Amino acid sequence: MPPRLASYPRRAALPAPHRPLTLTPKTVAVAVAAAMPAPSTVTHAYRALYKAGLAAVQYSHPARYAIRDKLRAAFRNPRQPHQLLGEREQFSQERIDNTVEFLRTAARRKGVEHEIVRNLTMVHYWRVMRKQSRIIHGYESAYNSYNENIALLNESMGLELR
């Protein structure tokens, strides 16, 4: 049996002296790198969203192209000007998982989830068609209420719909 070591009373940890935070390019780069997810995580999220989105619209034309365009825009430009309430720049795995589950539910049954996805894709399709066919001044302000409703849905359900 090994000899017992004498138990010494532990010293209480002293608080670190308060130093003001200085921002240097190196500390900013470290903070930004810590906030960014790994590239493989982003790729997995993109593929899961795309696969669930295609199943939700049942691979129908033109909805599958709307899903593709929306995902490309969301992953290339994480902060979009029409995103009113959810001004998040960070990657949230929980919100991605909630969105994938929402899309899978939309694929399984034709309930409210399916109607929401169908309406999102149709609004996107007609926005794109209108931009291609002619330019109408001020028509983007017609979508303010639509964008607010999508932002409120995202906030209440923890989703990332756009």
- Give pLDDT, residue 141: 74
Give me the mean pLDDT over the 132-155 stretch: 77
Mean pLDDT of the chain: 77
Q: pLDDT band for position 5 (50/70/90)?
A: low
The SS3 assignment for 54 reads helix
* pLDDT > 70 fraction of the chain, expressed in percent and rounded: 63
Residue 27 lies in a domain: no
Residue 15 lies in a domain: no
- Give pLDDT, residue 6: 54
Residue 28 lies in a domain: no
Overall number of domains in the chain: 1
* Alpha carbon distance 49, 99 (integer Å): 8
Range of the domain at 44: 37-157
Run of H or E including 38: none
Residue 103 lies in a domain: yes
Residue 9 lies in a domain: no
Residue 116 lies in a domain: yes
* pLDDT > 90 fraction of the chain, expressed in percent and rounded: 33
Of residues 8 and 153, the one with the higher pLDDT is 153
Measure CA 33 to chain center.
Answer: 18
pLDDT tens column, 34-83: 556 788 888 899 999 999 999 999 999 889 999 999 999 888 876 554 44
Range list of β-strands (E), 74-126:
none
User: Structure tokens of 94?
Assistant: 């929980």
Residue 56 lies in a domain: yes
Please confirm whether the linkage preceding 17 is cis (ω < 30° from 0). no
Give me the mean pLDDT over the 135-162 stretch: 81
Residue 69 lies in a domain: yes
Q: Report whether pLDDT(114) > 60.
A: yes
Helices (H), 21-62: 25-35, 39-56
- Give pLDDT, residue 162: 78
* Nearest residue to 116 (alpha-carbon basis) of 82, 152, 85: 152
Residues 6+ apart with CB under 8 A from 83: 147, 151, 162
- Give pLDDT, residue 145: 85
